[in-house]
Structure 1
Amino acid sequence: MGMREEFQTELAEAFDDPDGLADAVRPVAGSRTVKGGYDPAIGGTVPATTIHYSGRGVFGSYLAKEVDGSRIQTEDVKLLLLQNELFEEQGGQVSEIPAAPKIGDQVSGYRALNVSEDPAQATWTIQLRK
């Protein structure tokens, strides 16, 4: 088992552990609208589509020393998501396609301002703002 898989397994166990993070873990739903454009193959425009994804994560806040009043504001929310549990939804069913959040996505009632991943590519950290 590689470092990424081991890290994801340990975090998933912490997310499930009643003595760990289980009481802080929340379902997460995100969406992104992808603009349509001209498709020469069909000789016309393709309509905009909306990509939905879901998973689970821990919502938190930023430390006082991280808040600068500009890039990070007091009301901003920090979200930690497990990458191996974030999947696209198609037709009301969760697919096997892994999802990658992007800046501008709508995530659980917030707008994503910044998206980063840890060096092991096991988690996403998203800065959210109302």
Structure 2
Amino acid sequence: MGFDLSKIVSGAMTAAAGSVRSTVRPLTYVHVTGSPVYDPITGGTITPTTEYETRGVIARYRSRDIDGSRIQASDLKLLIAYDDLPVTPKLIDHAMIAGVRWNVHNLAADPAGALHILQMRKP
């Protein structure tokens, strides 16, 4: 009798979210791959990125965790399984969730090393 690793990780994601208001959703993770470069056509700069279609558990922070500065009431906790995101998240990355941009504000990893735990904030 084997075990289904994706089922275990999915269960861990939901448990780590710590909220009954959490839900697994599809999202686009936008990973910055280089420094901004000059665009001669627009006269501005562009930042090279790579987009990854993935999924994650999205949860609100518990009221006892919100301090108004480090964690704001509007912040989201985003949990993505390591296997679902082939890059290491960075503070300059962002995610598009239901058409809304959320910037990576803080990063953590769970002790088991199965999940990326990201604090997300609207720009």
State the TM-score, normalizing by the size of structure 2: 0.68
Q: What is the SS of the residue equivalent to 1:10?
A: helix
What is the count of residue pairs matched by the alignment? 100
Name the structure 2 match of 1:106. Answer: 94
Which residue identity does 2:73 align to in structure 1?
A: T
Is the 8 Å Cα contact of residues 7 and 122 (structure 1) preserved in structure 2?
no
Q: What is the SS of the residue equivalent to 1:65?
A: helix
Q: Distance in 1 between matches of 2:31 and 2:23?
A: 25
Which residue identity does 1:105 align to in structure 2?
A: D
1:76-97 Cα shifts (integer Å, max 9, x gaps): 01111111111xxxxxxxxxxx
Structure 1 stretches of 4+ with a deviation exceeding 6 A read: none
Post-superposition offset of 1:36: 5.8
Q: Distance in 2 between matches of 1:36 and 1:77?
A: 27
State the TM-score, normalizing by the size of structure 1: 0.64
Name the structure 2 match of 1:11. Answer: 9
Structure 2 unaligned regions, length at least 5: 14-19, 38-45
Structure 1 unaligned regions, length at least 5: 1-5, 16-20, 38-46, 87-97
Q: Percent identity of the aligned residues? A: 33
Post-superposition offset of 1:117: 0.9
1:66-123 Cα shifts (integer Å, max 9, x gaps): 101011000001111111111xxxxxxxxxxx21111121112100001111111100
Q: For the structure 1 residues 122 and 69, does the alpha-carbon distance in structure 2 shift closer, same or farther, using more than 3 Å as the test?
A: same
Among 116, 121, 127, the alignment partner of 2:113 is: 121
Larger radius of gyration between Structure 1 and Structure 2: 1
